[in-house]
Amino acid sequence: MNLKSKFIKRSPWIFHINSGACNGCDIEVVAALTPKFDVERFGILLKGSPRHADILIVTGPLTAQTYERVLRVYEQVPKPKIVVAIGSCCLTKGIFDGSYALKGPVDQYIPISVYVPGCPPRPEAIIRGVYRALEIISEKYVMV
Amino acid sequence: MLWFDILLGFIIFPGLAFSAMIGFLYVWIERKLRAKMQGRIGPPFYQPFFDFLKLISKNDIIPQGVNSITFTLAPILALSSLLLASLLIPFGPRSIINFSGDILMVVYLFSLLSVSYMMAGSSSPSPYSMVGTKRMVIQFISYEFPFILSIISILLLSGSISLSGIFFSIKKPSEYIFYLFPFITVVLTIPAKLMINPFSIPNADTEIVDGPFTEYSGKRLALFYLTHCMERPILYTLLYDLFFPPIGSITLIFQIIFSIIIIFVVTILATVTARLKINQLTKFYMLYVNILAIISLIFSTIKTMKWFI
């Protein structure tokens, strides 16, 4: 296992971006960060700036309005980075399928490592997804 | 030999290695205590250390539109000013460098630290860092004046202008009342100096992303993280040296115990309070704390005049 990914596994800082979700998944993401679940015992912190983050959490079907912003925020996260997609809308287009305002699922534009399905997924599932992302990051960045 | 001592002081004790390690420990105590007060388990003790290692192993991005010279220089300036301050402040019974008037240089170096934060914020065009810098300037002006006034009153009380002179000056039990006011004043300025709640106004993470440090990433952010951690042991040890006597060769242990008590007070205050507005902060420091500082200055002046008569 690479040393860099070992450090990230010990202190993953996350940034949360809404790419046009209905706010249901966002509430569950915030619920996962409450004292009841206490993700700080794994070193997970929610950061306000994507430049400080390691893990990008995306919720929602990529709308035409958020398309450029999501790409820009993805580029602002310094490497090594990893993306977790939360909710059914982010995986497929979900209930919004067929809308003229959509650019399509997020994984057509940025590489996504973990998909967490559900409408909305439970906080436990979101924490499991982030944990799975940390396992993947050690496999993905062996060569970095 | 002196240069060798200074180099050793910079790298090992009380410079980079020692104060970084003990700073990580203090930050962990803060985070753990806050977690316990909120009914959580909290991070493991190696957490700040791994945060630092992760940040320093990440890629660096210089965003478009920043002044790359000041953007790179600011974290280095912050860290080096703190390291130099750590050489001047007695960790244990004596400091590496001491000369007459070094207390003024310590005050200057702590100001330089805040100035380097402002430099970091103003080097990027991001509105968040601009607002953070503006708030930081206002906060700096507000708390620095009572802080310097109380240090002047300590200089008058101890009759010495060097830090080791103040440290070794005999403090009689009947004089403790005079030291009480400057002590309270300096303790009240700690949360504003370290930018923690209720005065976490410049780096308010729910309003303006991370204030002056918004555009920083990777290795430069790691240097700022290290500076935040090292600020604590150096400031708390300065506080011990100003107000308490040295106790033989076990002074360092007493300094650490005193620091942990101060951390408990400051963290409990930070956890039970919410963030204030900038005008409330200015009123608090410019009015109430300033009055306290002026009272302590008047008291110490009266006492010094008695000495001369």
Per-residue pLDDT tens digits for B46-88? 899 999 998 888 888 888 888 888 888 999 999 999 988 888 8
Shortest Cα distance from B192 to chain A (angstroms)?
A: 21
Residue B24 C-alpha, separation from nearest chain A C-alpha, in angstroms = 14
- The answer on pLDDT for A35 being more than 80 is yes
| Cβ <8 Å between B50 and A54 | no
pLDDT, position A43? 86
Extract the residue ranges of chain B whose pLDDT is less than 70. 1, 306-309
Question: What φ, ψ does residue B273 adopt, rounded to 5°?
Answer: -110, 160
| pLDDT (0 to 100) of residue B112 | 92
Residues of chain B with Cβ-Cβ distance to A49 below 8 Å are: 128, 209-210, 214-215
Gap between the Cα atoms of A107 and A6, Å rounded:
26
For the ranges A83-97, A103-117, B56-70, B164-178, the lowest mean pLDDT is seen at B164-178
Residue among A8, A40, A78 whose CB faces B61 most closely: A78
- pLDDT computed for residue B172 by the predictor: 74
| Cβ–Cβ under 8 Å, residues B20 and A16 | no
- A54–B57 CB contact, under 8 Å: no
List Cβ neighbours of B111 (8 Å cut-off, separation of 6 or more).
Answer: B140, B144
Place of tokens 């596994």: A9
Q: What is the 3-state secondary structure (H, E, C) of chain B?
A: CHHHHHHHHHHCCCCHHHHHHHHHHHHHHHHHHHHHHCCCCCCCCCHHHHHHHHHHHCCCCCCCCCCHHHHHHHHHHHHHHHHHHHHHCCCCCCCCCCCCCHHHHHHHHHHHHHHHHHHHHHCCCCHHHHHHHHHHHHHHHHHHHHHHHHHHHHHHHHCCCCHHHHHHCCCCHHHHHHHHHHHHHHHHHHHHHHCCCCCCCCCCCCCCCCHHHCCCCHHHHHHHHHHHHHHHHHHHHHHHHHHCCCCHHHHHHHHHHHHHHHHHHHHHHHHHCCCCCHHHHHHHHHHHHHHHHHHHHHHHHHHHHHHHC
pLDDT at residue A144, as a whole number = 39
Q: What is the pTM of this model?
A: 0.89
pLDDT at A2 over 80: no
Closest CA to A113 of A35, A11, A12: A12
Looking at the complex, report in whole angstroms how far the Cα of residue B73 sits from the nearest Cα belonging to chain A: 19
* ipTM attached to this prediction: 0.87
pLDDT at B48: 92
Predicted pLDDT at B308: 57
Looking at the complex, does the CB of residue A3 fall below 8 Å from at least one CB of chain B?
Answer: yes
Amino acid A143: pLDDT: 44
State the Cα torsion B177-B179-B180-B181 to the nearest 10°: 110
pLDDT at A103 over 90: no
Q: Which residues contact B191 (CB under 8 A, 6 or more apart)?
A: B197, B198, B199, B266, B269, B270
Asked if A51's CB is within 8 angstroms of B61's CB, the reply is: yes
